[in-house]
Amino acid sequence: MGLIGQLFYNRIFNTIQIVNNVQDDLYQMQNTGTSEYKGADLTITYKPLRILTIYGVYSYIKCLNISNPEILFTDIPENKVFTSIEIIPIKNFFISISGEYNSKRYSTSNGSRVSKPFFIANAELKYKFAKYFDLSFGIKNITDNNYTLQEGYPEPGRNFYASLYYNFNK
């Protein structure tokens, strides 16, 4: 079992961020002064069997605009969790199931929120054949969750894909 923890603290003196409603509905990237980003990441990897790997990541981030606290940071969830299970039942064949949780986030610097907390589940089957090729089939957003990260741009619902990869680095 592997466990890695990280703490971070950043103080930025010339923060460039989106400021909404500069004029009517227009936004602008502006220097809003000093800000702080602080948080933690925790990663766990567990391999109870030769064919099974369980992976999890938790991230916490708190963003504060010190110079202009009324201007909020956008598109950053305070809490985020990612988990996955990978099974390798036979050589070169992989089954992966993953999930991601995001807490609510601001979509505008004046406090609008378009997204409630949400959870997305995904699954993928991958087969490595020949020396350089991978063939994948998968489903993203299995539960067909309706969520939005930015106003006016809903994220895709359940979708299926097939991919053929060629790796130049082998």
| pLDDT of residue 11 exceeding 70 | yes
- Tell me what the mean pLDDT of segment 105-125 comes to: 90
Look at residue 170 in the predicted model and tell me its pLDDT.
Answer: 61
Tokens 């090729």, residue located: 133
| pLDDT of residue 5 exceeding 90 | yes
Look at residue 56 in the predicted model and tell me its pLDDT.
Answer: 98
| pLDDT of residue 4 exceeding 90 | yes
DSSP string across 43-80 = EEEEEEETTEEEEEEEEEEEEEESS-TTS---S--SEE
CA dist., res. 11 & res. 68, Å (int): 14
- Tell me what the mean pLDDT of segment 47-55 comes to: 96
What's the mean per-residue pLDDT of the chain?
A: 93
Look at residue 38 in the predicted model and tell me its pLDDT.
Answer: 97
